[in-house]
Amino acid sequence: MTLTNTEKMTLKKISQLQLASKNDLKNFLKENGKGGPVVIESVIKSLSEKKCIVTLTPLGSTTFIITQRGLKILENSE
């Protein structure tokens, strides 16, 4: 399975943070010139569909964690 550069960057960031909020990812992508609401939604949806991340919604706050599959894909892409 291949990832786009933006997906790979985002997945790596989630892996580093271990638990990333939507704002964390939004700020990270903005800092790297990949920002914008459409981009973040698209990347999150794509990574979720590829089963690389899982969405958690504790108390209404959306956060993301990397899955074992996501870790393997990330390791194989480096």
pLDDT tens digits, the chain, 78 residues: what are they? Answer: 789 999 999 999 999 999 999 999 999 999 988 877 888 899 999 999 999 999 998 777 889 999 999 999 999 887
Task: Report how far residue 58's alpha carbon sits from residue 7's, in angstroms, rounded to the nearest whole number.
Answer: 24
Surface-to-core class of residue 38, CB atoms within 10 Å of its CB (0-12 exposed, 13-18 middle, 19+ buried): exposed
Instruction: State the distance between the two ends of the chain, measured CA to CA, in whole angstroms.
Output: 13
pLDDT for the residue numbered 38: 87
pLDDT for the residue numbered 15: 95
Taking a C-beta distance cutoff of 8 angstroms, is the pair 25, 47 a contact? no
Tell me which of 1.10.10.10, 2.60.40.10, 3.90.700.10, 1.10.10.60 is the CATH number of domain 5-77.
1.10.10.10
pLDDT for the residue numbered 59: 75
Task: Report how far residue 52's alpha carbon sits from residue 10's, in angstroms, rounded to the nearest whole number.
Answer: 11
Radius of gyration of the chain (CA): 11
